[in-house]
Structure 1
Amino acid sequence: MSEPLSFKQEITAVFGQPVAENPTQVMIEAAFADAGLAWRYLTLEVAPSDLAAAVSGTKAMGFRGFNLTIPHKVEVIQHLDRLSEAAEKMGAVNCVIRDGDELIGENTDGKGFVESLREVSDPQGQNVVILGAGGAARAIAIEMALAGAAKFTIVNRSTERGEQLTELIKAKTGAAVEFVHWTDDYDIPAGTHVVINATSIGLFPDVDARIPLNTDSLTADMVVADVIPNPPATRLVREATAAGCTVLDGLGMLVNQGVIGFRLWTGVAPNPAVMRAALEEVFG
């Protein structure tokens, strides 16, 4: 008869082609170190055809959770046990938390934005203009609506995608919303409280790319936010600052969504300043 195992059984993974660290990995691991947690946050590439096996493998290997990015944010839902309210409404997941034998889908992108906004303004009752209608716009719009925003204007070049997001907001939140087809420089309407660039215009390396926006329509009583973290000081951030607006850069949203995920996985509140400093070092 063999003797019972008295040691912790482990598998050491060997990667023939290791994936380079990404900014989120650097940020989360800095927070682990600061919190005194001997945890790791790994960047792993998973082909769409392997998604089901990869999700199942996270249970087998005792992962406390994981993040996902495109193209897995929607497809992963069928492999999870349940979703948060926000993830269900927006139909996309970027963060998964293990609770016992269950995998719970969450979306922290929009929550991260709302937390950043609350540092300077209460979302309740605000009129919001969102430039773009992709995944970031969807996450932000749903969370802003759940936080009490009064009205949304979705501005997008693709009519189909813009109208899809408009209908989603109406159906899932009941908030007032209109769609504007983006064909020329857009004038921000009077009475707007928050302007959000949820497009990729200005993302490195195209740092001087211009958003088709009449910056003369920005006023000092507006909050202007850009979701792009690299570079933090996008052209829109610089122009809105010059116009006297309250400005939120993309690092704030990235840090806050990381804080939320960290807390859900570990039960520990991380230090946001440590996380932002790690990102600032990455982005120079």
Structure 2
Amino acid sequence: MNPYKPKVRAPDPHLVSFTSGVLERFEVATVCEASGCPNRAECYARKTATFMILGTFCTRACRFCNVATGRGVPPDPAEPGRIARAVEAMGLSYVVITSVDRDDLPDYGSGHFAATVEAIRRRTPQVRIELLTPDFRGDERALRRVVDAAPDKLAHNEETVRRLSPLVRPQSDYDRTLGVLEYYAQRFDGTVKSSLMAGLGEREEELIETMRDLYGAGVRELTIGQYLQPTPHHHPVVRYYPPDVFERLREEALRIGFRAVASGALVRSSYYAEEL
């Protein structure tokens, strides 16, 4: 057994049961439940959650991700309203909205992001909203649409280092991700954030190089977490990073200039998003 493989306490069954009931009632999905995130009960207790819109089928097939690949159904125009009601019922104070990739849609799903922000703001204007978006194939009209929605924070994940990106994200592109983040940083009044996974086979110096690339693109908040293999068919875990390496990476990111950094085995892109 690897001594650095992360372990967590079992989630509070009552809190998870209540949340699952709300999600089922409003027919909405969270990444927290879909991925069995180890931090979900902790996040629910802090009144935050990450919702996944635009269906459960992704048009891409990243080798680290357990979301099913396929052609999605047409966007449900009632979904933004259902999410807004779920946010209210759960008493949330901070929400992250993300989605599968929808390369099959003319606007890549950007209009659905904007509609979801509007629905939440209309029902619970005090709730803070972070959008964790796909790259929308770098389409400027789509990127402008989510910027104009005026969330409190915009995020898009680089996920891994340049050398490994073609292997683990074959339908995405390292430089396109940097371009999306730079577009957000230049046109969005709020904070821009990104995330990296460790343990895919990268070297530490490659992670630091990627951090510098992200900072140069305008990213000011960063999360770094341990990659965990979803199934035996996914990219293997090459290394489990010990806590001191995550701390070293955090300190290096702060030296580079990032304003806020969360780095640790169980850190995920939305972990403590409201406090970052």
How does the TM-score come out when normalised to structure 2? Answer: 0.34
TM-score (norm 1): 0.33
